[in-house]
Amino acid sequence: MKKINPKPEFLEKMKKLLSQADFEKYERIIQEPLLNSIRCNTLKISPEELKKRLEEKGWKISQPWKEHPEIMIVGNELQPGELGRSIEHLLGYYYIQELASMLSIIALAPKQNELILDLCASPGSKTTQMASQMKNTGTIIANDVNIKRIQILASNLERCGVTNTIITRDDGIRLCEKFKLQDLKFDKILLDAPCSGEGTMRSSPKTCLMWNQNTIKSLSKLQKKLFKNAFEILKPNGEIVYSTCTHAPEENEEVVDFALKEFKDKIKIEEIKLPVKCRPGLIEWTSDFAKYPPRSKFEKSERGRELGNKYNEKVKFCARIYPQDNNSEGFFVAKFRRVK
């Protein structure tokens, strides 16, 4: 595995998020390869049948979460690309999906016959996971703006035998506006937002080179716009999950805090139960982290030092997933209900 070399500015930011002991664990884990995790596609095969089939190939299969037997880890040291070349993968019996990536849909808990919007759907890992839980009933609208990503999405849906999904190609904000004009509202919405990808360094080392604080600020603005427009097309009592694969509070808690302020008594943040170690959302942070002291010293000083952002106390109900806690990628999940 190629050594990952994050920018010093990024590491300084992570030090503000973690204790010294945690930071050292984080630095070690990002240099290790990810687990070979897959998700059984129950539209085509049962977890028991798939496990038996893969074990007959000599693969060592474990199922880390009892309540989710479809989620499996292949314990063998495989050749590069071996997971994707197997006949079982080509037949759509399983989807190669990182463990943390599966948590959005576990939180959303799609049910049969619901109308669901997957606003930023490509490459389709979460769309296919939804369809599987819905048993191909109801309707999923899976949207992406990029034609190449749409092609990948369509290919994955076909391979997995998904038949309850309509693919749209549009800007996410514009699509929500169109649905609003048509008075089309959804039971559930997944906003797996475009983000800086800080949590994906183990699978995508190039993220280290692309990391930029200014990009994070721009993404935060986009994420807030996407959430605002998505929430407005949610049915009363409907649910929306907001998720990212980044650690940046500007893209996570700041967006959640914005949502709570924007929609006030129309929105309720839900507690999430996930089968991994989760840490609560931060209730304070400074965007320009380098200018301020660590979070533990954010109290107002006699010199009138500018404070970091203080978020709504309910932001703590969000889930932060760190690589060192679960031997996974980094992730963030928040779930909301439209009250009225």
Q: What is the pLDDT of residues 280-320, one digit of tens each?
A: 999 998 755 433 334 444 434 322 333 467 999 999 999 99
Q: Is residue 6 part of a domain?
A: no
Q: Is 245 considered catalytic here?
A: yes
- The single residue of 195, 245, 278, 318 carrying the catalytic annotation is 245
pLDDT at 287: 57
Query: What is the average pLDDT value for the chain, to the nearest integer?
Result: 93
Give me the CATH number covering residue 268: 3.40.50.150
Place of tokens 């800007």: 171
Domain count, the chain: 1
Percent of the chain with pLDDT strictly greater than 70: 93
Q: Is residue 316 part of a domain?
A: yes
Q: Is residue 71 part of a domain?
A: no
How far apart CA 293 and CA 299 sit, in angstroms, is 10
Please give the residue range of the domain that contains residue 117.
Answer: 102-338
How far apart CA 140 and CA 142 sit, in angstroms, is 6
Band of residue 238 on the pLDDT scale cut at 50, 70, 90: very high
pLDDT in tens, 108-151: 999 999 999 999 999 999 999 999 999 999 999 999 999 999 99
Kindly tell me if the per-residue pLDDT of 191 is higher than 50: yes
Q: Enter the pTM of the model.
A: 0.93
pLDDT in tens, 17-76: 999 999 999 999 999 999 999 999 999 999 999 999 999 999 999 999 999 999 999 999
Beta-carbon contacts of 273 under 8 Å, excluding residues fewer than 6 positions away, are none
Q: Is residue 149 part of a domain?
A: yes
Q: Is residue 49 part of a domain?
A: no
